[in-house]
Amino acid sequence: TTNRTFTMIKPDATEKGNTGGILAMINEAGFRIVAMKMVHLSAAKAGEFYAVHKERPFYGELVEFMSRGPITAAILEKDNAVEDFRTLIGATNPAQAAEGTIRKKYASSIGENAVHGSDSNENAAIEGAFFFSQLEQF
């Protein structure tokens, strides 16, 4: 069934000029962009987005990184979007990411891994709503 997922092109990828290359891979994989914007998160906003990871040892580092510079947030639609997008981005650790994945090509480390992808339909809806109102989703 057609569903939606949420993605962010992270500050490391923005800094290196990889936003266009990543969007091209997303398009080529058959995802339709139904919302998109570039934003620079404050540390407070990044912390709120990743609140679910608050108790993790890497939380502080994650919040600092995600507020370091602009990101591109987007909602993507496709058949089986959540699972197919996680396949397209590859493993969190780029050393384990499969050939042909976005992280294989663009990520530099577990933390600075170029892209985010929602892990469930429920989280896709929550994360999408964090950045976009209903009026901003096409």
Which parts of this chain interact with ligand CMP (CB under 6 A)?
53, 58, 61-62, 92, 110-111, 113, 116
Which residues are tagged catalytic? 116
Q: Tell me if 87 is assigned to a ligand binding site.
A: no
At 89, list the tokens. 């981005």
* In the complex, minimum distance from the CB of residue 68 to ligand CMP, in angstroms, rounded to a whole number: 12
Spatial neighbors of 137 by CB under 8 A, at least 6 apart, are 34, 35, 75, 128
For ligand CMP, the closer of residues 70 and 111 by Cβ is 111
* In the complex, minimum distance from the CB of residue 135 to ligand CMP, in angstroms, rounded to a whole number: 26
For ligand CMP, the closer of residues 95 and 138 by Cβ is 95
CA torsion 41→43→46→52, rounded to 10°?
Answer: -170
* In the complex, minimum distance from the CB of residue 27 to ligand CMP, in angstroms, rounded to a whole number: 21
Q: Tell me if 103 is assigned to a ligand binding site.
A: yes
Q: Tell me if 58 is assigned to a ligand binding site.
A: yes
CB-based contact 117:5 (threshold 8 Å) = yes
CB-based contact 9:72 (threshold 8 Å) = yes
Per the annotation, binding residues are 10, 58, 86, 92, 103, 113
